[in-house]
Amino acid sequence: MIRPSHISTRNNVMLFNCSDSILLSPLNCSSNSFCRKFEALDVGSGCKGTLCCHYLKDSSMNSHKIRVRVGGCTAYTSVINVKPNDPAEAWNYGIELQWAPPHL
């Protein structure tokens, strides 16, 4: 299959309102997770106090599913190129695609 694009490694995905089973994953569910900054905003206040995690899409991931479901996490968002010291008000929300020439 020829894929002209892939998900950029600059995407940070945050998962919210997660069940305890998420703690078995390699995601960052700690108190310094980016999702805690998001919860401090008005737009993220509905998820405040729930279990949340984030991960940076790295180059080893060539496919990944984001499942929003009961028994897992019920909400998510994605931020592009966020750094630990960036204020949440300045985050660039979305999913960045990176175009690649087809391999023939």
- pLDDT above 90 covers what percent of the chain? 30
What is the extent of the structural domain holding 46? Answer: 5-97
Q: Is residue 104 part of a domain?
A: no
Does residue 102 lie in a domain region? no
In this structure, is residue 25 part of a structural domain?
yes
Indicate whether this model's pTM tops 0.75. yes
Q: Chunk the chain into consecutive blocks of 10 residues (it has 104) and report each block's average pLDDT, rounded to whole numbers.
A: 70 90 88 90 87 77 56 87 90 87 66
Q: Is 14 exposed, middle or buried (0-12, 13-18, 19+ CB in 10 A)?
A: buried
Q: What is the pLDDT of residue 48?
A: 86
Q: How many domains does the chain have?
A: 1
Question: 3-class DSSP state for residue 64?
Answer: coil
Asked if 74 and 17 count as a contact pair (C-beta separation under 8 A), the reply is yes
**DSSP state at residue 96:** -
- Rg of the Cα trace of the chain? 15
Residue 4's pLDDT is 66
Q: Does 103 reside within a domain? A: no
Q: What is the DSSP letter of 91?
A: -
Residue 35 included in any domain: yes
Three-class SS state of 39: helix
